[in-house]
Amino acid sequence: MNSDELEWALMKAERRVLEIQTKLHRWAVDDSYRRFDDLFNLVADPAFLLVAWDRVRGNKGARTAGVDGKTARSIEAGQGVEMFLGRLRAQVRDRSFRPVPVRERMIPKANGKLRRLGIPTVADRVVQASLKLVLEPVFEADFLPCSYGFRPNRRAQDAIAETRYLASHGYEWVVEGDITACFDEIAHPALMERVRNRIGDKRVLSLVKAFLKSGILSRDGALTDTRTGTPQGGILSPLLANIALSVLDEHIAQGLGGSDSTSEDRRRRRRRGLPNYRLVRYADDFLVLVFGRREHAEELRDEVAEALKPMGLRLSVEKTKITHIDEGLDFLGWRIQRHRKLGTDRQYIYTYPARKSVRSATGKVKELTGRQNVGLSLESLLYRLNSVLRGWCAYFRPGVSNVAFCYLSHYTWMRVTRWIRRKYPGITWKQLRRRYYGGGWWPVTEEAEMFNPAKVSTTRYRYRGTLIPTPWPTAA
């Protein structure tokens, strides 16, 4: 199958997958108690496997090999996509497919500690992606609007917009939740029980369980059983984590004063001095906002800890804090705090890049412009810098980010200027401007110009509330 034939086959496969996903989602929305009993054939369906392959191949992790040493590119160059998917489909259909252990990889976290990733083989990733294509439309019908992480059409900016909206409407006390090693500690029996609430196909359940139990192969060759958790790095893991953490969503929403209560009920509670609650969750990072007093937030913190226990999860005592919006808090890289608007007596909730986020960006700029990269051409350096700067500014554009953007612009300019002087010792300022700044004041070459964060216009992200659409229309 040549590239044109593969492209055409992929277009037809995507259309078929979307049609089936739409039906699954509609059935799940129409009947919240329905269990789906015949999904296994969809996991092994050629269209689902081809779309799954495309998702895996398009992911930047496609260049990373699992324990078998194969990457997406090596499979294309070797046996070819058609033969690879054909063999994989046959293994899934006759149930001889067995997930192999994931390859352990440690990556640094922002706090200096290490996070363990589990890198599955390409074959395992494709089957996980196919499973996700089948399961996601079903569980999306049950997930509540307060959850934003790893869900279609939802993003971190939605979570920040909702937090700002709630804080502007009286929800001033905040429980900043921190779950200890969430992805590593999820109890398999409790998770599988929630999956079984919707999935009755035992073959699909066995496949999900097999991925959970696949094990981890460390760098020194030691094999560790996975009795709990869902390895970070797997395509299916975020969906399974959301299924597990939906216990928290439901506990807060269905409780007295939660989002499931009517506006009249909440008004009545406020008049009686009783609290109301709202949850904003992005994967395992969450805030519970309280319309009430600090003691209400303290009681709720204990409630949340109890709600998570059946899933095998624990709140970190040290990191779970109770904060007033006037003190401000950091969430998903943003600082959220109430300030008085300059020149007025009115106060507003402002969202802008947290100091940690600014330090992270300047740290990347510093690393790229360090001594180890003096051998690069200015053009190569600018391409690498621009990738970092554009991504960072795009994320923080919907906020009060002008000051941070100007600071980052000045810092990057200083670092690039120092890098040029280090690369060419003895160069005069006049020569530097003529050769590398185009006679002006900004780094530029024939092929590239340094991206300027200070020129990025900021905008307020529109709060979408419960109006965020799914990819699958529910109207017949």
- Kindly tell me if the per-residue pLDDT of 111 is higher than 70: no
Identify whether 272 is part of a domain. no
* Phi, psi for 306 (deg, rounded to 5): -70, -35
**DSSP 3-state assignment of 398?**
coil
Q: What share of the chain is helix, strand, coil (3-state, %, to 5)?
A: 50, 15, 35
Is 369 contained in some domain?
yes
Residue 257: Cβ within 10 Å count = 22
Is pLDDT of 472 > 90? yes
Asked whether the predicted pLDDT for residue 228 surpasses 60, the reply is yes
**Shortest CA distance to 81 belongs to which of 44, 120, 45, 126?**
126
DSSP assignment of 307-344: HHGGGT--B-TTT-EEEETTT-EEETTEEEEEEEPTTS
Q: Would the pLDDT of 55 be above 60?
A: yes
pLDDT at 188: 97
For residues 50 and 358, give the distance between their C-alpha atoms in angstroms, rounded to a whole number.
Answer: 40
CA distance 240 to 229: 10
Confidence at residue 194, expressed as pLDDT on a 0 to 100 scale: 97
Distances (CA, A) of 114 to 105, 108, 235, 330, 357: 10, 4, 20, 21, 18
44: containing domain: 3-141+188-227
Q: What is the pLDDT, as a whole number, of residue 466?
A: 82
Question: What is the CA 315 to chain-centroid distance, rounded?
Answer: 20
Cβ atoms of 250 and 144 within 8 Å: the answer is: yes
The number of CA neighbours under 13 Å toward the Cβ of 459 is 8
Cβ(307)–Cβ(246) under 8 Å? no
> What whole-number percentage of the chain has pLDDT above 70?
98
Tokens for 98, please give them. Answer: 């067995």
Query: Using 50, 70 and 90 to split pLDDT, how confident is the model at 9?
Result: very high
Average pLDDT over residues 208-215: 95
Q: Which residues contact 306 (CB under 8 A, 6 or more apart)?
A: none
Q: How far apart are CA 321 and CA 300, in angstroms?
A: 12
Cα four-point dihedral sign 370, 106, 128, 28? negative
- CB atoms closer than 10 angstroms to residue 213: 13
**Residues 197, 56 share a domain:** yes
What pLDDT does 473 receive?
86
pLDDT digits (tens, 9 = 90+) for 127-144: 999 999 999 999 999 999
Q: Please report, in angstroms and rounded to a whole number, the separation of the first and last CA atoms in the chain.
A: 36
Q: What is the pLDDT of residue 476?
A: 55
Give the pLDDT confidence score for residue 219 in this predicted structure.
81
Is residue 465 one of the residues assigned to a domain?
no
Chosen domain end from 180, 196, 227: 227
Structure tokens at 232: 């970070």
- Give me the half-sphere count of Cα atoms (radius 13 Å) on the Cβ side of residue 299: 11
The pLDDT of residue 356: 96
Domain annotation covers residue 433: yes
Q: Compute and round to an integer the Cα radius of gyration of the chain.
A: 25
Tokens of 88: 């994989």
- pLDDT over threshold 90, residue 243: yes
pTM as predicted: 0.93
Only one residue has tokens 């510093």, namely 366
pLDDT in tens, 340-361: 988 888 999 999 999 999 999 9
Q: Using alpha carbons, select from 106, 102, 117, 118 the residue that is nearest to residue 68.
A: 102
- Cα angle for residues 463, 467, 471 (degrees, 5° grid): 120
Residue at 345 is within a domain: no
Q: What is the pLDDT of residue 110?
A: 66
Nearest to 218 by CA among 120, 332, 304, 104: 104
Q: How far apart, in whole angstroms, are the C-alpha atoms of residue 439 and residue 429?
A: 11
Sheet holding 114-119, edge to edge: 114-119, 102-108, 216-217, 223-224
CA separation for the pair 384, 389 (Å, rounded): 9
Is the pLDDT at 166 greater than 60? The verdict is yes
The answer to whether 300 and 288 are in contact (CB under 8 A) is: yes
Distance, C-alpha 449 to centroid of its chain: 31
Does some domain include residue 248?
Answer: no
Work out the angle at residue 338's Cα, subtended by the Cα atoms of residues 362 and 331, and round it to the nearest 5 degrees.
Answer: 45
Phi-psi region of 333 (alpha: psi -120 to 50; beta: other; left: phi over 0): left
The count of structural domains within the chain is: 2
Is residue 146 included in any domain, yes or no?
no
Average pLDDT over residues 322-333: 97
211 & 65 share domain: yes
User: What is the average pLDDT score of the chain?
Assistant: 94
**pLDDT at position 286 over 60:** yes
Percentage of the chain modeled with pLDDT above 90? 82
Least confident of 105-114, 222-231, 320-329, 427-436: 105-114
| Pure H helices in 186-262 | 188-196, 202-212, 237-254
352 close to 405: Cβ distance less than 8 angstroms: no
Whether residue 434 is contained in a domain is answered as yes
More confident residue, 410 or 65: 410
pLDDT at residue 451 is higher than 90: yes
Q: Check whether 236 has a pLDDT greater than 90.
A: yes
**Four-point Cα dihedral 61, 334, 169, 166, nearest 10:** 20
Q: What DSSP element (H or E) covers 103?
A: strand 102-108
Q: Does the structure show a pLDDT above 60 at 386?
A: yes
Average pLDDT estimate for 44-72: 92
Tell me what pLDDT residue 325 has.
97
- Reported as a pLDDT band with limits 50, 70 and 90, residue 6 is confident
pLDDT category at 317 given cuts 50, 70, 90 is confident
- pLDDT band for 407, please (50, 70, 90 cuts): very high
> Which residue carries 């930047």 as its tokens?
60
Q: Report residue 410's pLDDT band, with 50, 70 and 90 as the boundaries.
A: very high
373 contacts: CB under 8 Å, gap ≥ 6: 381, 419
